[in-house]
């Protein structure tokens, strides 16, 4: 800073400050530099990558541009571009490093092994007498230090300058590097930064030194390290054979493999852990319980549901009770988290009442223990279950609860941040709010965690593109989905992109091209469609439905209505028991189209009415609107003929649907407005109103379940809620009270 009274001038607003952060180029400014000043023909992806690597440093961008002139290997150059690039190195050595004293250069080189540093750490690693004063001098000299907080306690190097210093350190003092990392590791350990301690121990190259850190802090590492860090700490330092000789290394590697969904590696390391763990060891129950938890979660993901329940219940019995906040607490091996896994397993088994009970139990226990991470995960899973079942009001309510945690440490879970976007984007899609769905899906993709979450969001984005008729955007979305990295254990998810490509070709009317792509996954589809829905995971069921819908559309394009009807009826049979409401609605819409093509007008109208009755509650519109004139014809016929059945459909929903299908708004609608009953502070949901209407017709629980495509247990739950709201204890009393209130 210049020798002026800056604070006084700043307070008096007599100072205009332009600092390094103001001079950094944005992506747009970097683009202008490359395209107009240099000039270089780089695409936006290359420019964004260089802006990120240089952190907007104009000279760095200029030198990158000089190095790029005449090169054809642009991708490879940008990937490898560091402070060791000859132009950058020459500039920084001559203009910056060469002007410093030998003592200052030595401190700067030593600090380059650190991703961040403060005064105390500077002293511990470099041996300087006053670390705070040293860093202040470096900062004042503008030696590429970037403060990480407003107090200027923590700093880091500018990335390119740090690269240069590391390069010089390796050239000039390679024998010092291991010792510098050990000093850093010890300091981080003594100050409670266990993951950074382990990472520096890893970089020291001393395996025994690292193993000692792991033995002391394995629980903390499993709690605080990311999956990539866990994989690095164990996988990079030790061979697979060495990992299998240590129970703690095995359980850490198993957890990293579990997060990666590499189940083959996970099982092999878990087997080693089971052999190695000593029943008398102090951490036996922790290791054994974590193993059982991972085996249970794997069994669930493989749809071995009964086995999953057994493993998880044993894990609850074995794992010791830990208090959140204690050094040995692992949220993913806690009782609330295990109850959450049980909830997802029961959800997969179609035992929705028990699943909901386990989720609520997990949330209650987690909240009482202030375990926000588990609360967030359980709420997200509960919301997604309700989404699949068509309870959009409930799903959105839980999404709002999730949003209350955004910005908190609980949202650092690899799935949590994108979960609200998944739910809201899907609901917007089905309600035909297509631009909203696209925006939400893109926001979710930006923060998504595992590959399967990315692919689910890409699938939602693709369906919004398709429904908008933006086929170019849909092609781009497919290409983005194809670039999602998949490890061997989840490589089968690559069929998602194939399904989208086949679906798009069918939508464009090219049956043969669609069939060519579909042939890549036909064997997988037929094998799974031969199973019962209970044997198939909820993540696979929507994929099966999408593939079967494409198969039906291909048959319709070829004039094979009977084959299309057969495929769609198989979907209805399978998904009826799974309570995947949106899928069943789309199947009935397509059945209506197929039956009309087969000149079965009564069958077509019956299928359309079933679709309307199911869709009116959650206000689903997309499956109707996307089919165009075929659906519009059927809807217009149903409404214009004023069939009594159409009067059951709430008119506010029907108006939205007709508008989405481009049916004349002036068309007279005789259906009644939807209504709710307010009793105290409670009100009947649309689904409860539907059940009440069916009760009045004398339907049994089983018949109501068949009519609404839900289980008898679900009907019983709705009836219990309905009786509570009406203040009654039986069907007879409920019907009497409903008549008093003019509800039926």
Q: What is the mean pLDDT of each run of 10 residues along the chain (744 residues)?
A: 78 79 75 70 75 70 68 71 60 67 87 92 91 86 76 83 85 92 95 93 92 87 81 84 83 81 80 73 76 87 86 88 69 83 87 89 87 88 89 90 84 80 95 95 90 92 94 93 78 85 92 92 86 72 88 93 93 78 92 93 91 90 90 84 73 88 59 42 69 80 75 76 75 73 74
pLDDT score at 197: 95
Task: Parse the chain into domains and list their residue ranges.
Answer: 415-660, 678-740
Distance CA 508, CA 469 (A): 10
pLDDT score at 325: 64
Return the C-alpha torsion angle 171, 172, 173, 177, nearest 10.
-40
First-to-last CA distance in the chain? 79
Q: What is the CA radius of gyration of the chain?
A: 31
What tokens appear for 640 in the block? 């214009």
The secondary structure of 445-504 as a DSSP string is HHH--SHHHHHHHHHHHHHHHHHHT-HHHHHHHHHHHHTS---GGGGGGGHHHHHHHHHH
Residue with tokens 């005064």: 119
Element spanning 581, H or E: helix 581-597
pLDDT score at 603: 92
Write down the CATH number for the domain with range 678-740: 1.10.10.10
pLDDT score at 489: 61
Three-class SS of residue 147?
Answer: strand
pLDDT score at 666: 45
pLDDT score at 289: 84
The CATH architecture one would assign to domain 415-660 is: Alpha Horseshoe (1.25)
> Is residue 222 exposed (0-12), middle (13-18) or buried (19+ Cβ within 10 Å)?
buried
pLDDT score at 669: 46
Three-class SS of residue 408?
Answer: coil
C-alpha closest to that of 180 among 242, 109, 131: 109
Of how many residues is the chain composed?
744
> Is residue 504 exposed (0-12), middle (13-18) or buried (19+ Cβ within 10 Å)?
buried
Residue with tokens 């908190």: 408
> Is residue 730 exposed (0-12), middle (13-18) or buried (19+ Cβ within 10 Å)?
exposed
pLDDT score at 557: 92
> Is residue 323 exposed (0-12), middle (13-18) or buried (19+ Cβ within 10 Å)?
exposed
Distance CA 382, CA 83 (A): 48
- The answer to whether residues 547 and 568 touch, using CB atoms and an 8 Å cutoff, is no
Three-class SS of residue 420?
Answer: helix
What lies within 8 Å, CB to CB, of 553 at 6+ separation is 503, 506, 507, 514, 564, 590
Beta bridge partners of 117: 155
Beta bridge partners of 156: 146
What lies within 8 Å, CB to CB, of 68 at 6+ separation is 40, 42, 74, 77
- The answer to whether residues 238 and 267 touch, using CB atoms and an 8 Å cutoff, is no
Distance CA 300, CA 316 (A): 16
* pLDDT 10s digits, 284-319: 787 888 888 888 888 887 778 889 999 999 988 888
Distances (CA, A) of 448 to 420, 473, 531: 11, 20, 31
pLDDT score at 201: 95
Three-class SS of residue 24?
Answer: coil
pLDDT score at 578: 64
């Amino acid at each position: 800073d210049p020798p002026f009274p800056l604070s006084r001038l700043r307070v008096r607003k007599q100072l205009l400050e332009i600092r390094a952060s103001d001079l950094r180029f944005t992506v747009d400014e970097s683009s202008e530099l490359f395209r107009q000043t240099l000039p270089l023909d780089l695409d936006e992806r290359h420019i964004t990558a260089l802006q990120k690597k240089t952190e907007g440093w104009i000279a760095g961008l200029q030198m990158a541009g000089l190095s790029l002139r005449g090169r054809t290997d642009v991708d490879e150059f940008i990937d490898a571009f560091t402070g060791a690039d000859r132009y950058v190195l020459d500039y920084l050595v001559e203009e910056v490093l060469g002007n410093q004293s030998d003592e200052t250069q030595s401190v700067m080189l030593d600090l380059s092994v650190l991703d961040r540093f403060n005064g105390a750490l500077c002293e511990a690693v470099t041996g300087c007498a006053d670390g705070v004063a040293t860093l202040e001098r470096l900062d004042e000299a503008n030696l590429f230090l970037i403060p990480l907080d407003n107090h200027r306690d923590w700093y880091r190097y500018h990335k390119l300058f740090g690269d240069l210093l590391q390069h010089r350190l390796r050239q000039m003092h390679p024998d010092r590097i291991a010792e510098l990392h050990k000093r850093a590791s010890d300091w981080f350990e003594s100050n409670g930064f266990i993951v950074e301690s382990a990472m520096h121990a890893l970089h020291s190259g001393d395996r025994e030194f690292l193993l000692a850190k792991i033995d002391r802090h394995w629980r903390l590492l499993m709690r605080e390290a990311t999956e990539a860090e866990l994989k690095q700490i164990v996988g990079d330092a030790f061979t697979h054979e060495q990992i299998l000789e240590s129970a703690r290394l095995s359980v850490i590697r198993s957890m990293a493999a579990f997060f990666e969904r590499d189940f083959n590696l996970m099982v092999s390391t878990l087997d080693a852990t089971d052999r190695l763990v000593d029943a008398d060891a102090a951490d036996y129950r922790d290791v054994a319980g974590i193993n059982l938890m991972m085996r249970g979660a794997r069994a669930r993901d493989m749809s071995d549901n009964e086995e999953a329940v057994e493993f998880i219940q044993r894990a609850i019995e074995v794992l010791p009770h830990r208090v959140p906040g204690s050094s040995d607490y692992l949220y993913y091996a806690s009782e609330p988290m295990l109850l959450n896994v049980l909830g997802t397993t029961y959800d997969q088994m179609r035992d929705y009442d028990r699943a909901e009970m386990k989720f609520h139990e997990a949330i209650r226990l987690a909240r009482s223990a202030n375990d926000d991470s588990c609360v967030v995960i359980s709420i997200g899973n509960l919301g997604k279950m309700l989404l699949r079942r068509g309870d959009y009001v409930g799903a959105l309510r839980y999404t709002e609860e999730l949003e209350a945690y955004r910005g908190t440490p609980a949202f650092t879970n690899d799935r949590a941040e994108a979960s609200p976007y998944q739910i809201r984007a899907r609901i917007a899609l089905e309600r035909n709010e297509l631009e909203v769905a696209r925006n939400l899906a893109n926001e979710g993709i930006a923060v998504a965690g595992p590959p399967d979450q990315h692919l689910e969001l890409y699938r939602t984005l693709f369906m919004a593109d398709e429904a908008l008729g933006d086929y170019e955007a849909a092609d781009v979305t497919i290409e983005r989905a194809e670039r999602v990295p998949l490890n061997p254990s989840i490589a089968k998810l690559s069929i998602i992109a194939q399904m989208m490509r086949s679906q798009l070709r069918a939508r464009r009317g090219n049956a043969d091209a669609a069939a060519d792509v579909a042939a890549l996954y036909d064997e997988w589809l037929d094998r799974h469609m031969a199973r019962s829905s209970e044997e198939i995971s909820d993540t696979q069921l929507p994929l099966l439905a999408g593939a079967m819908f494409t198969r039906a559309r291909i048959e319709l394009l070829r004039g094979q209505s009977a084959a299309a009807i057969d495929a769609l009826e198989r979907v209805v049979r399978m998904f009826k028991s799974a309570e995947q409401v949106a899928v069943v609605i789309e199947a009935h819409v397509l059945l209506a189209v197929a039956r009309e093509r087969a000149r079965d007008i009564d069958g077509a109208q019956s299928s359309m009415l079933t679709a309307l009755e199911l869709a009116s509650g959650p206000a689903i519109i997309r499956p109707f609107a996307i089919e165009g004139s075929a659906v519009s014809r059927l809807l217009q016929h149903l409404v214009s003929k004023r069939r009594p059945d159409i009067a059951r459909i709430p008119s506010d929903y029907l108006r939205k649907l007709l508008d989405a299908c481009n049916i004349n708004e002036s068309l007279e609608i005789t259906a009644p407005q939807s209504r709710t009953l307010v009793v105290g502070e409670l009100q009947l949901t649309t689904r409860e109103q539907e059940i009440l209407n069916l009760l009045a017709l004398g339907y049994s629980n089983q018949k109501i379940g068949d009519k609404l495509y839900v289980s008898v247990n679900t009907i019983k739950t709705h009836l219990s809620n309905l009786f509570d709201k009406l203040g009654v204890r039986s069907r007879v009393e409920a019907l009497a009270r409903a008549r008093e209130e003019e509800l039926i």
